[in-house]
């Protein structure tokens, strides 16, 4: 599978990523990075980036990493621990997903969200269900 072509198509076809302003920036087998520059629209009632945005970044990075082997997948379970708040003042947030186990039916992935200066913002563990369908090359 041409991972670079798939990365570009993923960004073009994901309406949700476009809505929140995120982008899949790196895709390798069993590994993905999704980035977002925080903005006022991501603010929660406490004045920091909403946890739903953080969870979405992690879930998207894990989803991309799990599809990098060419099989479609869906999230079976996800858990994200919020470590420190992220600022809404144009802080670059990077979700880094890595495969821990890639099985025939399930995959387990860790995801860390790093903020400005590489500080840990959140860390999670996800289980993905691998579907019988394949991810088409480049799409």
Summarize pLDDT for 106-122 with one digit per residue, the tens: 999 999 999 999 999 99
Q: What is the CATH number of the domain that holds 104?
A: 3.10.129.10
Q: Is the per-residue pLDDT at 136 higher than 90?
A: no
For residue 39, what pLDDT is reported? 95
pTM of the predicted model as reported, rounded to 2 decimal places: 0.95
Would you list the DSSP string of 55-117? HHHHHHHHHHHHHTTSEEEEEEEEEEEE-S--BTTT-EEEEEEEEEEE-SSEEEEEEEEE-GG
In a domain, 41, yes or no: yes
Q: What is the mean pLDDT of residues 57-64?
A: 98
Rounded to 5 degrees, φ, ψ at 68 are -65, -20
Full domain range(s) for residue 52: 3-134
For residue 23, what pLDDT is reported? 98
In a domain, 32, yes or no: yes
Cα separation, 35 vs 18, whole angstroms: 12
In a domain, 139, yes or no: no
Average pLDDT, the chain: 95
DSSP code for 31: E
In a domain, 66, yes or no: yes
Q: Is the per-residue pLDDT at 38 higher than 80?
A: yes
Cα separation, 46 vs 89, whole angstroms: 14
Task: Give me the number of domains the chain comprises.
Answer: 1
In a domain, 10, yes or no: yes
Q: Is the per-residue pLDDT at 19 higher than 80?
A: yes
For residue 139, what pLDDT is reported? 46
For residue 103, what pLDDT is reported? 95
Do 124 and 78 contact (CB within 8 A), yes or no?
yes
In a domain, 128, yes or no: yes
Q: What is the mean pLDDT of residues 18-40?
A: 97
Summarize pLDDT for 66-82 with one digit per residue, the tens: 999 999 999 999 999 99
What the block records as the tokens of 46 is: 């406490």
């Amino acid at each position: 599978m041409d991972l670079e072509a798939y990365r570009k198509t993923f960004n073009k076809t994901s309406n949700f990523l476009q809505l929140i302003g995120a982008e899949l920036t790196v895709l390798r087998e069993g590994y993905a990075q999704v980035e977002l520059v925080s903005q006022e629209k991501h603010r929660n009632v406490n004045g920091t980036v909403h946890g739903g945005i953080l969870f979405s970044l992690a879930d998207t990075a894990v989803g991309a990493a799990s599809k990098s082997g060419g099989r479609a997948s869906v999230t079976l379970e996800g858990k994200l621990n919020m470590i420190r708040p992220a600022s809404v003042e144009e802080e670059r947030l990077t979700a880094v997903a890595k495969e821990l186990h890639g099985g025939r039916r399930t995959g387990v992935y860790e995801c860390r969200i790093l903020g400005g200066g590489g500080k840990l913002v959140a860390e999670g563990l996800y289980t993905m269900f691998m579907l019988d369908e394949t991810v088409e090359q480049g799409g």
